[in-house]
């Protein structure tokens, strides 16, 4: 019987606060260093993607978030890794680059593409900017 192992999920958080999106600049691995991403990490065994995102953002940035809706789509990172992104609202804390990042920025929707996003995050950033714009228009 063929081994039908599902790819491991990596979660990214489109963290927003006061109408702005949080961007994090990577320090590693070398091929990603200096580029920007939606922060997150791998789902550990026994965790839901939402639990993993809360844990990763606490570890990497020192913040507490409320995980909201999953953003549409997914991005295959490697043969055994797939990226899912979720909207997350900042509840508590001021984000700090504690692990894997050297700079953070809050980006208003009109400035969302002022940074060099990793390709896999671009569709999620576009959707988040669209949603933030829709909220502002309400």
Q: Give the pLDDT confidence of 79-137 residue by residue, as tens digits.
A: 899 999 999 999 999 999 998 999 999 999 999 999 999 999 999 999 999 988 776 65
Average pLDDT over residues 40-64: 97
List of residues 6+ apart from 130 with CB closer than 8 A: none
pLDDT > 90 in the chain, percent: 83
At residue 39, the pLDDT reads 97
Measuring CA to CA, which residue among 136, 128, 59, 35 is closest to residue 89? Answer: 128
In this predicted structure, what is the pLDDT of residue 2?
45
The distance from CA 117 to its chain's CA centroid, rounded to whole angstroms, is 11
- Ordered by start, the domain boundaries in the chain are 8-136
Joined tokens for residue 77? 């990172």
- Distance, in Å, from the CA atom of 107 to the CA atom of 36, rounded to the nearest integer, reads 12
Report whether 37 contacts 69 (CB < 8 A): no
pLDDT at residue 4 is higher than 70: no
User: Structure pTM?
Assistant: 0.91
Residue 41 confidence class, pLDDT cut points 50, 70, 90? very high
CA 74 to chain centre: 12
For residue 37, pLDDT beyond 60: yes
pLDDT value for 3 = 45
Label residue 55 by pLDDT band (50, 70, 90). very high
CATH class of 8-136: alpha beta
Model confidence band, residue 6 (pLDDT cutoffs 50, 70, 90): confident
């Amino acid at each position: 019987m063929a081994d039908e192992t599902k790819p491991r999920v990596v979660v990214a958080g489109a963290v927003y606060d006061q109408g702005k999106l949080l961007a994090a600049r990577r320090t590693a691995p070398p091929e990603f260093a200096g580029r920007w991403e939606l922060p997150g990490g791998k789902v550990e065994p026994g965790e839901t993607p939402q639990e993993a995102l809360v844990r990763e953002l606490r570890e990497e940035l020192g913040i507490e978030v409320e995980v909201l809706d999953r953003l549409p789509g997914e991005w295959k990172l490697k043969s055994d890794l797939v990226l899912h992104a979720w909207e997350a609202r900042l509840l508590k804390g001021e984000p700090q680059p504690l692990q894997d990042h050297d700079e953070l920025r809050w980006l208003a929707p009109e400035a969302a593409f002022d940074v060099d996003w990793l390709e896999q995050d671009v569709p999620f950033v576009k959707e988040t900017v669209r949603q933030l714009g829709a909220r502002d228009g309400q």
